Structure formats: C-alpha cells, structure tokens
Amino acid sequence: MRTGLMLGSVADFDGFEHTRDRVPGDIGYENATASDLAGRPPPYTPPAYAPPAVPARRSPAVAVAVILLAVLVAVVLLAGLLVVSRSAAPDPAVPPQVGAPPAAVEPDARIQVVYEITASGPGSVGEVSYTDQDGDIIRRSGISLPWRTTFTTGRQSPLVLHAQRKSGGDAKWVTCSIIVDGKVVASATEQGRYAAPQC
C-alpha cells in the first residue's frame, strides 16, 4: 500500500486509471498538513552558480614590451626589404646590356651606318628589327638572308640590330653587324637553326 496523500485517480496515456502521491505544484498540495508531508524530501532547488572568475590582469609593462617588440620586428623587416630592393634594382644611369653594347653616335656628327645580317646555309629566311636614322624601331619579316641596309644620320639615338633565322639554311650560325663609317662597331654570332643574334 502506498503512503502519503493521494490525489485520487488520474487517467494515464494508456487509458487506465492510476494513483500517485501528491507533490508540490499539485492542486491541493498547499492544504496538506505537515504529517502528510513527513518523510518527503524538500522540494528541489537548483544550486547557486558561482560568478565567473575574473581573469588575472597583466602588467602594463608586458603589453608595452610586446608592442615594442612588434615595432622593432616591423622596422627590421622594412629595412631589409629596402636594402634588398635597392641592391637588386638596376642603376638607372646604366642602360641594360643585351648581347653586345649598342654603338654610340657622337653628337652633331653625320655618319654612315650599315646594318648587315649573314647566315650559314642556302635559302635562309629571317626576321630583323633595328633602329633607323630617326631612332624609330623598324621590324621586317620574311627577308632573305644575307640582308643589308645603309643610311646616314646625325642623331644621337643608339644603333640597335636584332635578327633571327625563321626557316631555311642549316643549323649553324647567324651573324649581325653594325658598321659606322666603314668600321665594325658591334657584331654578334649565334648558333642553331633559329639563331637570334643581337647587336
């Protein structure tokens, strides 16, 4: 037999009537006497939560040291980048050299310039780029090798000649030459079927 205050019959989900003890929150529980509640545990109360722990404060000296270290590292990295970029950068006063240096022209002097391309083997066909008497870059393709052009100039622009064999000939050599007033001032030879000398 069950002890305690009975609520009476209660219909359950299975359709049968069951009886159960009264508990706090039931209708009529407030009217129960102390003897009716004897032997029952007190109603459940959740435990009180402790406030979250406050993190320990760091010394301002540590924060200052970290900031100074970060600034020092940034300065060292920046200085290193500047040194590397300046040492790797070409000197703007010195033009880049490709092959033989371009022939220089004295100011106000009228000179005769001859550009010449020769190639080994018969039937060589090539492509040529050069600066003309006005300093403009001229490009020609499908020219038969050997090839030659002559002009007179008084300009101070550099004399530049590039050539490449595109077909024909053999796999030996191609030579470019710059001749100023009868004197060879630049010459270069490259080997191979698609040789590309630069003067």
Query: Quick one: pLDDT at residue 33?
Result: 62
Greater model confidence, 16 or 82: 82
Percent of the chain scoring above 90 in pLDDT: 19
3-state secondary structure of 85: helix
Q: Give mean pLDDT, residues 176-194.
A: 90
Q: Which residues contact 14 (CB under 8 A, 6 or more apart)?
A: none
- Please provide the average confidence, as pLDDT, over all residues in the chain: 75
Which pTM was predicted?
Answer: 0.46
Greater model confidence, 148 or 86: 148
Greater model confidence, 133 or 23: 133
Per-residue pLDDT tens over the stretch 143-180: 998 999 999 988 777 889 999 888 888 888 999 999 99
Domains annotated for the chain, with CATH where assigned, are 6-37 (no CATH), 111-191 (2.60.40.2880)
Whole-angstrom distance, CA of residue 85 vs CA of residue 78: 11
pLDDT tier at 14, thresholds 50, 70, 90: low
Question: In 10 A of CB 19, how many CB atoms?
Answer: 10
Q: Give mean pLDDT, residues 96-124.
A: 72
Range of lowest pLDDT (10-24, 54-68, 75-89, 125-139)? 10-24
Name the E strands within 46-170: 111-119, 125-131, 137-144, 147-153, 161-167
Instruction: Tell me the two tokens of residue 196.
Output: 């590309």
Per-residue pLDDT tens over the stretch 74-84: 888 877 777 76
| Helices within the chain (DSSP H only) | 34-37, 60-88
pLDDT tier at 129, thresholds 50, 70, 90: very high
